[in-house]
Amino acid sequence: MNDSRQKAGDPHRCGRGFRQDLLSGYLDGELTQGDAQKVRLHLEDCAECRRLYDELRDLQGLARSTVFRMPTDDQWREMPVGGASRIARGLGWLFLMVWAVLVTGFAGWQLLVSPQNLFLKVLLFAGVAGLALVFLSALLDRLRHRRTDRYDGVQK
Amino acid sequence: MSRDQHAPETGDRGVESSDAQLVARAGHGDAEAGNLLALRYRQAAYLLALQLTRHPDDALDIAQEALLRFFRTLARFDRRRPVRPWLMQIVRNLVRDRGRRRKVRREDAPAVDVIGEPADLELDPEARTVQHELQERLWRLVGELPPPCGEILVLRDYQGLTYQEIAADLGIPLGTVMSRLHKARALLRAAWHHAPEERP
């Protein structure tokens, strides 16, 4: 493939085959003297590159002139919860869930082997199963909410 | 949110300590030195996080977390190195981590007004309004660029890093900096023309 074909297929070259990424380097003052001189001379002759350069410079100027809203001192004081506290809370929940599963399982087993009548067993099972399903539903909603909540992680 | 983003927050009560001195004192458990360092760099950390996330709550959270991480890694920090690049690197890493964890959220996140009134007091009210709208649009478009493009634009055009610093920070060759930056600018320009409202 010859050089002109390569140039024709490159979207970052102008119609005259000039490398337009050099315009960015020129805009930023990051070119060697020789390359900067090449760009200067090219800009004098090429309207396409001159227009591109002017637009890039205007956009850069607009970005640099932006003033962002900054937090107040009160907002800075709202420090995030420390790592140790997060770990302790996570472990606490884990132990609590393990405890709940074991206690519920043991109670269920005792109910199965107990000599109570079938109606009472079904009644108790339905109540416990209902509570478990409500808890599971709330837990799933909470997990989904955590994935999509825009303010998750923001310390109030 | 009313503080000037360019106003330094030294809190030094007239006595300027160097970063190295403060880092050394903070490393030995001097809480006041740690506070002075935090005051000195928290706005810069917030500003970078804000430009990369465009969400003030996320940015504040990230800036706070970055400062905490900085102090936790103080023992490993080489005191001869400047503080700012180290802290900014932590901010960028946190932004990337958060972006990966919350991809769904980023796509759904609505535009939040994070741009203040233009600083140029010579502009008349109408021109200030127009400039404010242009800046909002520009930063919205920067946010819609692919992350590597948005990041490199922020680092160069707003944070003012040199190509050498960007190459070191992003771990890419110097030549790639210029080509990636130009690609980012070309994409931004194309997006700007895609739905033209006002030219800068």
Q: What is the pTM of this model?
A: 0.65
Q: For residue B118, what pLDDT band results from cuts at 50, 70 and 90?
A: confident
CA dihedral B3, B47, B165, B95 (to 10 degrees): 160
Q: Kindly state whether A143 is in contact with chain B, defined as any CB-CB distance less than 8 angstroms.
A: no
Instruction: Give the closest of B1, B43, B108 to A148, CB-based.
Output: B108
- The domain total for chain B is 2
A13 beta partners: A19
| Bridge partners, B63 (sequence order) | none
Alpha-carbon distance values, B166 to A25, B67, B101, B155, B158 (Å): 13, 21, 25, 7, 12
Tell me the mean pLDDT in the region B116-120: 73
Q: Do B110 and B127 share a structural domain?
A: no
Tokens describing residue B136: 């909002």
Residues B4 and B94 in one domain: yes
pLDDT of B184 strictly over 90:
yes
- Does the pLDDT at position B7 exceed 50? no
Cβ neighbourhood burial of B191 (10 Å; 0-12, 13-18, 19+) = middle
- In this prediction, residue A29 carries a pLDDT of 94
CA B165/CA A107 separation, integer angstroms: 64
B118, A67 in Cβ contact below 8 A? yes
Half-sphere exposure of B13 (CA within 13 A, CB side): 3
Amino acid at A9: G
User: How confident is the model over A106-145, as pLDDT tens digits?
Assistant: 888 887 787 777 788 788 888 888 888 888 888 887 777 6
Q: Which of chain A's residues have a Cβ under 8 Å away from the Cβ of B117?
A: 67
Q: Where is the domain boundary, B93, B114, B135?
A: B114
Q: Which residue of A has its CA nearest to B193?
A: A55
Choose among B43, B153, B182: nearest Cβ to A70. Answer: B43
- Please determine, for residue B71, whether its predicted confidence score (pLDDT) is greater than 80: yes
The minimum CA-CA distance between B72 and chain A, rounded to whole Å, is: 11
Do B76 and B142 reside in the same domain of the chain?
Answer: no
Same domain? For B58 and B145 the reply is no
Query: Which residues from chain B sit within 8 angstroms of residue A72, using beta carbons?
Result: 1-3
**Domain limits at B106?**
1-114
CA distance B196 to chain A (A): 13
Q: Which residues, in sequence order, are CB contacts of B182 under 8 Å at separation 6+? A: A12, A20, A21, A23, A24
Q: Which of B114, B147, B171 is the last residue of a domain?
A: B114
To the nearest whole angstrom, how far is the Cα of A128 from the nearest Cα of chain B? 35
- The amino acid occupying position B160 is G
Mutation for testing the A interface, residue in B42, B182, B187 having most A CBs under 10 Å:
B182
Residues in chain B within 8 Å Cβ distance of A39: none
Same domain, B159 and B195: yes
Distance from CA of B43 to the nearest CA of A (A): 7
Contact list, B188 vs chain A (CB under 8 Å): 59
B11 and B109 both lie in a single domain? yes
CB contact under 8 A, A59 and B138: yes
Q: What is the model's pLDDT at position B196?
A: 54
Same domain, B5 and B78: yes
Of A29, A37, A27, nearest to A61 (Cα)? A27
**Residue B147 sits in a domain of what CATH number?**
1.10.10.10
Query: Bridge-partner residues for A19, per DSSP?
Result: A13
A24 chain-B contacts, CB cut-off 8 A:
178, 181-182, 185
At residue B108, the pLDDT reads 47
- In whole angstroms, what is the distance from residue B111 CA to residue A102 CA? 47
Mean pLDDT of all residues in B62-71: 89
> Rounded distance, CA B142 to CA B51, Å?
9
| CATH number of the domain encompassing residue B107 | 1.10.1740.10
In the prediction, which pLDDT does B112 show? 59
- Average pLDDT of chain B? 80
Residues B10 and B90 in one domain: yes
Which residues on adjacent β-strands are paired with residue B115? A68
pLDDT at B181 over 90: yes
Q: Mean pLDDT check: name the lowest of B2-11, B83-92, B138-147.
A: B2-11
Nearest to B138 by CA among B50, B197, B62: B197
Share of chain A above pLDDT 70, in %: 77
**Angstroms from B46 CA to nearest CA on chain A:** 8
Task: Answer yes or no: do B26 and B106 share one domain.
Answer: yes
The verdict on A48 touching B (C-beta cutoff 8 Å) is no
Neighbours of A71 (CB within 10 A): 22
Amino acid symbol at B4:
D
- Picking from A101-105, B58-62, B99-103, B194-198, which range would have the lowest pLDDT averaged per residue? B194-198
B96 and B4 assigned to the same domain? yes
Distance CA B200, CA B198 (A): 7
User: What ipTM goes with this model?
Assistant: 0.76
Q: What is the 3-state secondary structure (H, E, C) of chain B?
A: CCCCCCCCCCCCCCCCCCHHHHHHHHHCCCHHHHHHHHHHHHHHHHHHHHHHHCCHHHHHHHHHHHHHHHHHCHHHCCCCCCHHHHHHHHHHHHHHHHHHHCHHHHHHCCCCCCECCCCCCCCCHHHHHHHHHHHHHHHHHHHHCCHHHHHHHHHHHHCCCCHHHHHHHHCCCHHHHHHHHHHHHHHHHHHHHHCCCCCC
pLDDT band at A49 (very low <50, low <70, confident <90, very high): very high
Beta bridge partners of A68: B115
> pLDDT > 70: what percent of chain B?
82
Is B153's CB within 8 Å of A63's CB?
A: yes
Q: Which amino acid is at B124?
A: D
Q: What single-letter DSSP state applies at residue A155?
A: -
B24 and B70 assigned to the same domain: yes
pLDDT of B104 reads 45
Tell me: do B29 and B106 sit in the same domain. yes
